[in-house]
A and B are shown apart, each in its own frame.
Chain A
Amino acid sequence: MASRNNPIELEPREPIPSGSALRSRATRRATDTLGAWRSDGAARWLFIWPAVLLILALSVFPLVTSIALSVSQLAFSEGGVHLDFTGFTNYQQLLFGLQSSEFIGVLKAPTPLGWAVILATVGLTAAAWVRAARGGQVRPIGLILRLLGGLFLCLMVVLLVRTLLSDGGRPGSVVVTIIFVLVGIALQYVLGLGLAILAVQQVPWRRFFRILFLIPLTITPVGIGYMFLMMTDTSKGPLEPIWVALGLRDFTWVTDPWLARIAVIIGDTWQWTPFVFIVLLAALESLDQEVKEAALVDGASRWQSFRHITVPALLPVTTTIVLIRIIEGFKIIDMPNILLGGGPGTATESMTLQAYLAWNTLNVGRSAAIAYLLLILVSIVATTYVSFVRRRVTDFA
């Protein structure tokens, strides 16, 4: 087969075949195709199925098992444990019951600013959907998905507004997690991009700084948590002299919910910025410099070059980085747990931390239910994000 397909290794030219020769060749081709099929089939069995089985065993089976856990209550009995089926009680408690104030938050009537945000979101979402529908380029199923995505977006904005932009409202672990993800990723991307741009410049100590910027990524998150725990301690920590010199002896990060969240975001940003940095650095170094030089020769400013050449070129990498950080960010637990135990109160309690705390008291059903709701949230956000950026990336391409 190899020689037959290789134009270099040409076989001797054959005479023009007769009718019987044609039949013979057709039979041989069919046999070869069958052999190839058999070969592909064997490859499938040999190489693909083990991986599929492994994924089934490690991911899908536990996924299904955890569904069972999320609709059950764990009970201990002579000789083992058993699960009492409780239906959707765990979900009901989290979304509408006793745990809703901790999970969803305390919802209050929006302030005028809150109403403005809600109306603007609904208006823009509706306008985008109508434009897509009128454009005629989106299939019906696409329109339905966009409608669902728009409704989800509006729901999230209403949740954010009624807990953050309202009188007496309080965010629950869902909103707190979203805040950590949105603010954290934005900061990490901006800082990571800035550091990457600096690191590609021909500056002294360039290699040293590259390694230095990477160090936080190599430290275990638990270690980072304890390090920030000490650094944010203004009365006893290693930075105490600095805090005192700044007149902040009695200042504390832990009594105000927003200061506590900021402390968590700072720690998380310190930990994850190097990841963004290293990926963007690789992307920047692989850029075709001739294009930028040509633009500069044509009179483009550095900003124009960055805006119209660098940014579009980084967009595919950016898409992937942000997606990975979204998925990882939603699972944040180390920093809020070690730094503040989810406190003050429940101000820094993320969804994963709430699930962990439920597990600690062996409330496995609630823990699994939180994990499933997290899975749904991450899946919707990530899918919506990919759908959203896909068109932009395509347009730039």
Chain B
Amino acid sequence: MPVSRFRTLAPAIGLIVILAGCGSATTPAPTAPAASTPPAASAPASAAAGTSAAPAGTPGTKFAGANINILTFNGPQIAEPLQRRAPDWEKLTGGHVNIVAVGFQTIYDKALLDASTGTNSFDGYVFDPQWMGDFVGPGYLADLTAREKNDPQLNQQDIVPFFRDYNSTYNGKNYTIPLDGDFLMVYYRSDLLAKDGLKPPETWDDYLTIAQKYNGQDLNGDGTPDYGSCIAEKKGAQSYWWIINIAAGLLQSKGTSQGAFFDTTNMNPLLGTNDAMTLALQTYAKAGTFGPPDGLNMDVGGSRGLFTTGRCALTLDWGDVGTQAPGTYAQDKTGAVISPGWKQVLDRSTGKLVPCDPTTCPDAVNGVNHAPFAAFGGWSGAVNAKAPAANQDAAYDFLSYMSAPAQSSIDVTLGKTGFNPYRTSQFTNSAPWLAAGLSQAATDNYLGAIKDSLSNPNFVLDLRIPQTKQYEQDVLDTAIAQYLAKQTDETATEQAISDGWNQITTQVGKDKQLAAYISSLGVQK
């Protein structure tokens, strides 16, 4: 190339560099969807597939002309029941609802930015109640206390107290309508354990023993070796909930108000530098050695697939496995049990583990301290406080309709919805469960495990203070991912979590965060 031509080219190249740089800097958040976040889809509910038969009678006019947008997760769970039932609600009320479904990683920032910038393109959200700490303070969510109390359609008293009084409240007021009940439980292959005369795991040591026993055996008769334990370990997925769940029984033993995330006297992280966290990390990593070789890249979708195809002896999950088992290899071979506990507990003053006794673990059963973890808390509906009043009314009514016993008692029995039981009537009425394909024994076992968790006075509430997402999905998730990938050891991992959490606490304000944490633990109704 002649020099003159190159000189002509040089400024153009320079311009490209500048523009590229501009592009990089001006787009700090690339719009490329994450692995678990397929492209966002805004689907008119009326176009949703699988629409159930419309209610009989003439169309209602209660919300005629109202056109509301509800933001939620694209699942396809969670969005599915909303899209499927929206036409029924539209017929009942004359309103129209658009279900705007986006990836899980996107819901939080999309909702928060929409509300905080005054765009208000969404009238309601079906999201994680953990995020209320960021939404309620600035006044982005409508106070639903009076509405819920006086709503015969919702039948609030039918909702289990944990979800009604804690999950849907913040500072004593109701801001969300429960649509889902979430507790982590352990699922086991009941046929295998029965054959070998084994009991379901009571402690995490039991869990590892059973996992080791079955690892490498052919568990589903297809001639290939299978796995003892399938617990998701993927970064940017659910790992941080699993480690909290494993550590919970070591960190909290004196009831919910003790808290499992921070020391309520000084806001020091409990998931930090102490022996309890060391043991929990080692247990999580050990369980991974009895799992599939690509466990580090497996999320909860992968572990469910492996368990329901009979390739795993044990798994840790929300209630979804129980409702996804019918019609799969795992049908009538799936048992559920309260999340395993520990026979020792953290002495917070020394950072060492001490044996469980009536003083250190007053709620222990057979010397085992269980601390069932309400990870995530369950999908919940909320109303945008800045939406037009008519839209707020319509959005509330739609969410109330979704939660009403007539709809929810069916939805929680279907694996495709992603919803798990949260109403008293859902635990007492077996008919919908049997209709969904579960046997009576499986129903009793499944609901029994959830009831054991809900009735445990030592259940652990998920973190719900400002910047919760940074505490869990940024700092904790990154540290755990590095540990599981053997990039860091226990000491470095604990230090990274402790330092990262302290940094966020300092940025937001230690007193403010401590007050918010104590407030979130002290629900009394």
Contact = CB atoms under 8 A, between A and B. Distances in A.
A393 B1 CA distance: 7
A105 to B, nearest CB: 10
B28 A368 contact: yes
B500 A235 contact: no
Nearest to A65: B26
A397 B13 contact: no
B35 A339 contact: yes
B48 to A, nearest CB: 23
B469 A361 contact: yes
Given A66-B28, A371-B27, A77 B296 contact: no
Nearest to A355: B28
Contacts, number: 234
A98 B112 contact: no
Given A316-B6, A362-B108, A378-B24, A367 B29 contact: yes
Contacts of B473: 360-361
Interface in B69-115: 105-106, 108-109, 112-113
Contacts of B237: 341
Nearest to A343: B235
Given A254-B294, A363-B474, A59 B28 contact: no
A378 B30 contact: no
Contact of B481 (A78, A93, A345): A345
Contacts of B294: 233-235, 252-255
A235 B503 CA distance: 41
B236 interface: yes
B24 A361 contact: no
B157 interface: no
A297 interface: no
A375 B484 contact: no
Contacts of A102: 478
A76 B22 CA distance: 27
A183 to B, nearest CB: 20
Contacts of A323: 13, 16-17
B13 A344 contact: no
Contacts of B39: 222
A374 interface: yes
A365 to B, nearest CB: 9
Given A222-B33, A316-B6, A63 B25 contact: yes
A250 B293 contact: yes
Contacts of A236: 305
A76 B484 contact: no
Contacts of A396: 1
Given A170-B487, A345-B482, A370 B28 contact: yes
A257 B484 CA distance: 12
Nearest to A80: B116
A342 B236 contact: yes
Contact of A341 (B23, B24, B32, B235): B235
A102 B235 CA distance: 14
A359 interface: yes
B138 A77 contact: yes
Report, as a range, how many residues of chain B touch the other chain: 35 or more
B390 interface: no
Contacts of B5: 316
B482 to A, nearest CB: 4
Report, as a range, how many residues of chain A touch the other chain: 35 or more
A331 B109 CA distance: 22
B234 interface: yes
B389 interface: no
Interface string A330-344: 110110011111111
B9 interface: yes
Main secondary structure of the interface of A (DSSP, over half): helix
Nearest to B235: A343
Interface in A305-341: 315-316, 320, 323-324, 327-328, 330-331, 333-334, 337-341
A182 B134 CA distance: 42
A81 interface: yes
A356 B29 contact: yes
Contact of A251 (B19, B293, B503): B293
A71 to B, nearest CB: 13
A361 B138 contact: no
A140 interface: no
A390 interface: yes
B17 A255 contact: no
B3 interface: yes
Interface string B230-254: 0000111100000000000000000
A359 B305 CA distance: 31
B25 A372 contact: yes
B28 A367 contact: yes
B470 interface: yes
B60 interface: no
A363 B39 CA distance: 22
Interface string A155-190: 000000000000000100000000000000000000
Contacts of A328: 20
A309 B30 CA distance: 42
B418 to A, nearest CB: 21
B35 A338 contact: yes
B2 interface: yes
B34 A337 contact: yes
A359 B134 contact: no
Nearest to B34: A337
A98 B28 contact: no
A346 interface: yes
A344 B27 CA distance: 26
Nearest to B504: A363
Contacts of B327: none
Interface string B44-77: 0000000000000000000000000000000000
A344 B6 contact: no
Contacts of A191: none
Nearest to B106: A360
Interface stretch (A118-126, A270-278, A379-387): A379-387
B421 interface: no
Given A63-B22, A76-B112, A359-B29, A343 B297 contact: yes
B24 A235 contact: no
B525 to A, nearest CB: 27
B326 interface: no
A360 to B, nearest CB: 5
Nearest to A76: B138
A316 B3 contact: no
> Which of A98, A236, A257, A343 counts the most B-chain CB atoms under 10 A from its CB?
A343
Interface in B475-510: 478, 481-488, 496, 499-500, 503, 507
Contacts of B29: 355-356, 359-360, 364, 367
A328 B134 CA distance: 36
Contact of B13 (A222, A320, A360): A320
A386 B7 CA distance: 11
B21 A379 contact: yes
A180 to B, nearest CB: 15
B117 A333 contact: no
Nearest to A61: B26
Nearest to B234: A341
A269 interface: no
B12 to A, nearest CB: 9
A33 B444 CA distance: 96
Contact of B105 (A347, A360, A378): A360
19 contacts: A59-B19, A79-B139, A80-B116, A222-B33, A236-B305, A315-B1, A327-B20, A340-B235, A344-B297, A345-B484, A355-B30, A361-B109, A361-B474, A362-B108, A364-B28, A367-B29, A383-B14, A390-B6, A394-B6
Given A221-B32, A383-B17, 11 more contacts: A80-B138, A255-B485, A316-B5, A341-B235, A342-B235, A344-B481, A344-B487, A345-B483, A352-B30, A359-B109, A386-B13
Interface of B: 1-3, 5-6, 9-10, 13-14, 16-30, 32-36, 39, 105-106, 108-109, 112-113, 116-118, 134, 137-140, 224, 234-237, 292-294, 296-297, 305, 467, 469-470, 473-474, 478, 481-488, 496, 499-500, 503, 507
